[in-house]
């Protein structure tokens, strides 16, 4: 009741399942109190704690990027790293050594485009990882891994993830 504004134009108690409407029960009118959570987290870890987390995210992204560069063609960057976001392709064995993806044929791009959804389905089913993928600017689907939210992730975790993606991909394309 202390949060209720009783704004009849927003909250109709007589609608179907109206008792589940969180609008009059939360600080921000049904939205999550994101700023409040950030404030609490900042109070808990302080400036130095946030700086450490940001530095860790950048370190993970840089390591991930270097592992892709040294993968002997199994992975390629889809675009340059942006802060702590890395966009990359798993490259099926038949396309490795084919040079820059910009020079691929239309058929090659279709194979590359289909790789991310196929691999994500396996990773998700196995409970390995939830890495988003999408096409962008005419490029085929690529994975996008975001490190800022990975406070507890280690370099060893990153190495294992890339190894597992390659094992899953290579097995998928060996069929």
pLDDT tens for 108-137 read 999 999 999 999 999 999 988 888 888 888
d(CA 142, CA 135): 6
pTM of the model as a whole: 0.76
What are the φ and ψ backbone dihedral angles of 36, each rounded to 5 degrees?
A: -65, -40
Q: Please provide the DSSP assignment of 111-132 as one string.
A: HHHHHHHHHHHHHHHHTS---E
Q: How far is CA 130 from the centre of its chain?
A: 7
pLDDT tens for 38-78 read 889 899 999 999 999 999 999 999 999 999 999 999 999 99
d(CA 121, CA 30): 33
d(CA 172, CA 122): 9
């Amino acid at each position: 009741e202390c949060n209720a504004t009783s704004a009849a134009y927003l909250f109709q108690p007589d609608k179907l399942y109206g008792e589940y409407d969180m609008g009059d029960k939360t600080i921000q009118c049904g939205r999550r109190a994101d700023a409040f959570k950030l404030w609490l987290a900042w109070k808990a870890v302080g400036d130095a704690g946030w700086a450490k987390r940001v530095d860790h995210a950048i370190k993970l992204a840089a390591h991930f990027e270097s592992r892709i560069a040294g993968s002997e063609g199994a992975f390629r960057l889809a675009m340059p790293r942006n802060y702590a976001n890395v966009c990359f392709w798993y490259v099926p064995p038949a396309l490795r050594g084919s040079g820059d993806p910009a020079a691929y044929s239309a058929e090659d791009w279709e194979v590359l485009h289909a790789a991310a959804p196929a691999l994500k389905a396996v990773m998700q089913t196995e409970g390995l990882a939830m890495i988003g993928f999408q096409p962008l600017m005419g490029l085929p689907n690529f994975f996008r891994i975001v490190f800022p939210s990975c406070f507890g992730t280690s370099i060893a975790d990153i190495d294992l993830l890339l190894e597992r993606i390659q094992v899953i991909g290579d097995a998928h394309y060996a069929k």
